[in-house]
Structure 1
Amino acid sequence: MEEQKYKYIRKGDGTVCRLIRIGTRKSELARIQTKSVAEKLKELHPDISLEIVAMSTIGDKILDTALSKIGEKSLFTKELETALEKNMVDLVVHSLKDLPTTLPPGFTIAAVLKRENPHDAVVLHPKHVGKTLDTLPEKSVIGTSSLRRAAQLKRRFPHLEFKDIRGNLNTRLKKLDEKEDFAAIILAAAGLKRMGWENRISQILEPGDCMYAVGQGALAVEVRAKDTDLLEMLSVLNDTETVLRCISERAFLRHLEGGCSVPVAVHTLVKDSQLYLTGAVYSLDGSESLKDTMQTSIAASDKSSEEGDQQEEHVGVTALKVCSVSQANAERLGVELASLLLSKGAKEILTVARQLNDAR
Structure 2
Amino acid sequence: MKKLIIGTRGSVLALWQAKHIQQRIQSELGILSELQIVKTKGDKILDVPLAKIGGKGLFTKELEEMLLDRKIDLAVHSLKDVPVDFIQGLGLACITEREDVRDCFLSHRYCDIKALPIGAKVGTTSLRRSMQIKAFRPDLDTQSLRGNVQTRLKKLENGEFDAIILACAGVNRLGIDTSEVRHISPISTEIMIPAMGQGALGVEALENGEVFSLLKCLNHNPTAICCNIERAFVRALEGGCQVPIGVNASISDNKVYMNAIVGLPDGSEILQDRIEGNIGDGEFLARELAENFIQRGAKELLERAQKMMFGE
TM category (shorter chain) comes to over 0.9
Which of structure 1's runs of 4+ aligned residues deviate more than 3 A? Answer: 198-201
The one of 96, 104, 125 aligned to 1:121: 104
Matching residue of 2:194? 212
2:23 is the counterpart of 1:28: no
2:25 is the counterpart of 1:41: yes
SS at match of 2:71: coil
2:14 is the counterpart of 1:18: no
1:263-302 matches, within 5 Å, as 263-298=244-279
Equivalent-residue separation in structure 1 for 2:213 and 2:277 (angstroms): 28
Which range moved further: 189-198 or 107-116? 189-198
2:301 is the counterpart of 1:356: no
Alpha carbons 1:261, 1:357 under 8 Å: kept: no
1:229-244 matches, within 5 Å, as 229-244=210-225
Q: Do the aligned partners of residues 22 and 282 (structure 1) sit closer, same or farther apart at CA in structure 2, a change above 3 Å counting?
A: same
Equivalent-residue separation in structure 2 for 1:157 and 1:63 (angstroms): 27
Deviation for aligned residue 1:266: 1.2
Equivalent-residue separation in structure 2 for 1:69 and 1:38 (angstroms): 33
Deviation for aligned residue 1:71: 4.0
Alpha carbons 2:80, 2:241 under 8 Å: kept: no
Which digits, 9 at most, give the CA deviation of each residue in 1:314-337, with x for residues without a partner? xxxxxxxxxxxx4xx322222111
Deviation for aligned residue 1:296: 2.9
Matching residue of 1:149? 129
Matching residue of 1:311? none
How many residues align? The count is 309
Deviation for aligned residue 1:146: 0.6
SS at match of 1:18: coil
The one of 111, 114, 118 aligned to 1:138: 118
Greater RCO (Cα-Cα under 8 Å, separation 6 or more): 2
Equivalent-residue separation in structure 1 for 2:240 and 2:154 (angstroms): 28
Which range moved further: 347-356 or 80-89? 347-356
SS at match of 1:347: helix
SS at match of 1:149: helix
Deviation for aligned residue 1:212: 0.5
Alpha carbons 2:55, 2:240 under 8 Å: kept: no
- Code of the residue aligned with 2:7 in structure 1: it is G
Equivalent-residue separation in structure 2 for 1:157 and 1:41 (angstroms): 44
Matching residue of 1:224? 206
Equivalent-residue separation in structure 2 for 1:67 and 1:330 (angstroms): 30
Q: Do the aligned partners of residues 35 and 357 (structure 1) sit closer, same or farther apart at CA in structure 2, a change above 3 Å counting?
A: same
Matching residue of 1:314? none
SS at match of 2:202: strand
Gaps spanning 5+ residues in structure 1: where? 1-16, 299-325
Which digits, 9 at most, give the CA deviation of each residue in 1:126-157, with x for residues without a partner? 2x05x221111111100011110001100101
TM-score normalized with structure 2 length: 0.95
Alpha carbons 1:142, 1:160 under 8 Å: kept: yes
Alpha carbons 1:74, 1:99 under 8 Å: kept: yes
1:96-107 matches, within 5 Å, as 96-107=79-90
- Code of the residue aligned with 1:335 in structure 2: it is R
- Code of the residue aligned with 1:259 in structure 2: it is G
